[in-house]
Chain A
């Protein structure tokens, strides 16, 4: 049911807002405010690319991922997958669509049912979508999936607690690719793992992308990991998109003052490089998303802020080809 051509984006997010109500009272709930977790974000994801989505806690990156997965219904705006608006779908149509989209979560301990075997976990999406006939075929498919993610097929009948963290994440990945999706949202896929295991999982994600032609949305707070596997990177802060650019472009030539500070705060494991690096230490904390600052949400911590930043919400504009920045002090016509 492909409705659009190969060069149109696979995922189109336009002006998506997701507000969570804040209530008080126990029986008679009163709405006393809202948390603007995602506030007017637009972006596209091309077929076969990896879009990295970075931000600190409370930036709304996971909420945006969940809106794309339709695990959250957005408050406003559109999420289109392969040209089809997702929120209008229901029942069977949504289920068909869901087969093409899948997710990998952060915590391989809580995201796998402790009462199902590895085979049960991996086989569930295969049987739900009716992708194989009969037990023998199912068995074969599970073995194949285990091998693809680097686990031994004889481990199929073990329970999650019998696996290490890295192996569990491999099971999570096998489950995600079981129904042959085109698009995977990976939300912090390696941050719960030890350093020496992280590299194994990162390499596995890259191999699978090449073999299966997958498109990834990689949500992560570790900017080094994101640089390593992304084609383009989007930076979020307090529900807003701050900067979006091709990967090397963003890391070599960040435009937004927040991106600059964020990158300079990440230490590099090399003392010689560290001694030469300039660092911008941001003052203060991230404001509450329930009561975000007026104008540019970053102005309270921004070293470049001027009076106008308090009044104007900066639009995302193209500061160089393919490089989008939301700051009135950057790019053509900057103040």
Chain B
């Protein structure tokens, strides 16, 4: 158990050995293949990786929103506030979703219903979960819009999604996710579709509600910059597995996994003058339905050793670092298995 500021924190979410596969005509896609991590109350975590690494599927698995068929959670456990989410029936899950876990998706336009007013969509969750009557739900809805920084909230409730800009819609999505005061907010690429200046507004808003309401946040993103500014801890994913996890500074200042190092070296930086060539990661991510044995990264890896071809690397403590820093690589000198 990690020590927080002056107190021991309890784990809000514990994911252990989660495996989510998709059974398609082209074969079994191992989208998430044995991942383990936890999240403390009030903490913020980023799940970073490129497309197809399994970061969104991790979130959907926690929400139990994996379309089945073709998808299925094959193994592992997800414990949230002490309860095993995989053991819940559909009705119990509906009560947890929205009520205790809120989620924000990438595309604010497709996630809102275009023919219902903002107010109608905001009050729906409140009425469903908290059993508010119309008047109380309406009051709560305008309170939520104010919380996410939409001025003139009472009037804006009558507007339709198309009358809002992309940034405003994302604010509405955040308001909906927060409507029942959840303990955990999952934001899947919340700013990817937005312009830079609007992106900054939304990230500041997520950080502000996290602090004000004391909720835990998982941000799923491919953007390393977004991560550096707004989270406490990071999970780096590659081909369905977590290859490195640790605190913000551990992962950025002393990256251990060759993939993490490669990612950091390959992005151009705003604060570095034009000059040297970028060092790309050669090759491309593997096909998840046809993964080679051993480490999925080894074909792109400059440090690969013989063992990488045979055994899937265990997630182990980084020897020199504090207990939280873990890496899954045979070529890195590590301590005991985690």
Chain A residues whose C-beta falls within 8 Å of the C-beta of B222 in the assembled complex: 194-195
Contact residue among B197, B201, B203, B228 (Cβ-Cβ distance under 8 Å from A271)? B228
Q: Which 3 A-B pairs have the closest CB atoms?
A: A267-B225, A199-B280, A228-B268
Find chain B residues with CB under 8 A from A144 CB.
none
Measured in the bound complex, the distance between the Cα atoms of B191 and A263 in whole Å is 17
- Bound together, the chains give a CA A300 to CA B198 distance in angstroms of 15
* Interface residue ranges, B against A (CB under 8 Å): 50-51, 165, 167-168, 195-201, 203-204, 222-229, 248-249, 252-253, 262-264, 266-274, 277-282, 284-285
B272 to chain A, nearest CB (A): 8
Query: Cβ of A122 < 8 Å from any Cβ of B?
Result: no
A196 with B50: CB separation less than 8 A = yes
* CB <8 Å contact, B269 and A270: yes
Cross-chain contact of B165 among A194, A195, A285 (Cβ < 8 A)? A285
Stretch binding the partner chain, chosen from A23-31, A74-82, A274-282, A304-312: A274-282
Chain A residues, CB < 8 A from B270: 223-224, 227, 251, 263, 266, 268
Contact for B224 among A230, A269, A272, A285, CB less than 8 A: A269
Partner of B284, one of A197, A225, A227, A266: A197
Contacts A194-B222, A195-B224, A265-B196 given; indicate if A225 touches B268 (C-beta within 8 A): yes
Residues of chain A contacted by B273 (CB below 8 angstroms)? 227, 247-248, 251
Task: Give the complex CA separation of A231 and B275 in angstroms.
Answer: 11
Cβ of A6 under 8 Å from chain B: no
| Shortest distance between the CB of B321 and any CB in chain A (Å) | 15
With A263-B270, A266-B270 already in contact, the answer to whether A221 and B195 are too (CB < 8 A) is yes
Cβ contact within 8 Å between B196 and A199: no
| Nearest CB of A to B237, in Å | 13
The contact sample of 26 A-B pairs, CB cut-off 8 A, is: A56-B198, A164-B284, A195-B267, A196-B263, A196-B266, A196-B281, A197-B280, A197-B284, A199-B266, A199-B268, A199-B280, A202-B278, A206-B277, A223-B196, A223-B270, A267-B223, A267-B225, A267-B229, A268-B269, A269-B252, A271-B249, A272-B249, A274-B228, A282-B197, A283-B201, A285-B167
Complex interface: chain B residues within 8 A of A271 (CB):
228-229, 248-249, 252-253
Q: A195-B263, A228-B274, A285-B167 are in contact. Are A267 and B197 (CB under 8 A)?
A: no
Q: When A194-B50, A199-B267 are in contact, do A230 and B274 touch as well, CB less than 8 Å?
A: yes
In the complex, which residue of chain A has the Cβ closest to the Cβ of B167?
Answer: A285
Which chain A residues numbered 294 to 332 have a C-beta less than 8 Å away from chain B?
A: none
Contacts of A164 in B (CB 8 A): 284
| A4 touches B (CB below 8 Å) | no
B269 lies within 8 A of A269 (CB) = yes
Known: A56-B197, A194-B222; 12 extra A-B contacts, CB below 8 A, are A196-B284, A200-B280, A224-B267, A227-B268, A227-B270, A251-B271, A251-B273, A262-B197, A266-B270, A268-B269, A269-B267, A286-B165
Measured CB to CB, the nearest residue on chain A to B252 is: A271
Q: Chain B residues near A203 (CB, 8 Å)?
A: 277-278, 280
A269, B248: Cβ atoms closer than 8 Å: no
Q: How far is the CA of A199 from the CA of B284 in the complex (A)?
A: 12
Q: Which residues of A lie under 8 Å from residue B196 when comparing CB positions?
A: 56, 221, 223, 262, 265-266
Main secondary structure, interface of A, reads helix
A269 touches B167 (CB 8 A): no
Q: How far is the CA of A282 from the CA of B197 in the complex (A)?
A: 6
Measured CA separation A281–B267 after assembly (Å): 24
**Distance in angstroms between the alpha carbons of A231 and B168 in the assembled complex:** 36
Contacts of A263 in B (CB 8 A): 270
Q: By the criterion CB–CB under 8 Å, are A202 and B228 in contact?
A: no
Residues in A whose Cβ lies below 8 Å from that of B274: 227-231, 247-248
Interface residue? A166 (CB, 8 A): yes
A195 to B269, CA, bound (A): 12
Q: A227-B268, A251-B270 are in contact. Are A265 and B280 (CB under 8 A)?
A: no
Most chain B CB neighbours (cut-off 10 Å) among A223, A251, A269, A285: A269
Give the chain B neighbours of A267 by CB distance below 8 A: 203, 223, 225-226, 228-229
A279 CB contacts on chain B under 8 angstroms: 200
Determine how close the nearest CB of chain B comes to the CB of A210; give it in whole angstroms.
11
CA distance A225 to B165 in the complex (A): 26
How far apart are B151's CB and chain A's nearest CB, in angstroms? Answer: 10
A42 within 8 A of B: no
B198 partner residues in chain A, CB cutoff 8 A: 56, 285
Interface residues of A in 224-249 (CB under 8 A from B): 224-225, 227-231, 247-248
Distance from B150 Cβ to chain A, minimum over Cβ atoms (Å): 11
Bound CA–CA A229/B274 (angstroms): 6
Contact of A195 among B195, B266, B282 (CB under 8 A): B266
Bound-state Cα–Cα, A299 to B225, Å: 28
With A200-B280, A202-B278, A203-B278 in contact, is A274–B200 under 8 Å at CB?
no
Select B200's contact among A195, A197, A248, A281, beta carbons within 8 Å.
Answer: A281
Find out whether the CB atom of B249 lies under 8 angstroms from the CB atom of A265.
no
In the complex, A270 Cα to B227 Cα: how many Å? Answer: 9
Which residues does chain A contribute within 8 Å of B50, judged by CB atoms?
A: 194-196
Judge whether A44 is part of the interface by a CB distance below 8 angstroms. Answer: no
Identify which of B223, B226, B270, B272 gathers the most chain A CB atoms within 10 Å of its CB: B270
* Residues of chain A lying within 8 A (CB to CB) of residue B226: 267
Complexed CA–CA distance, A223 and B225 (Å): 12
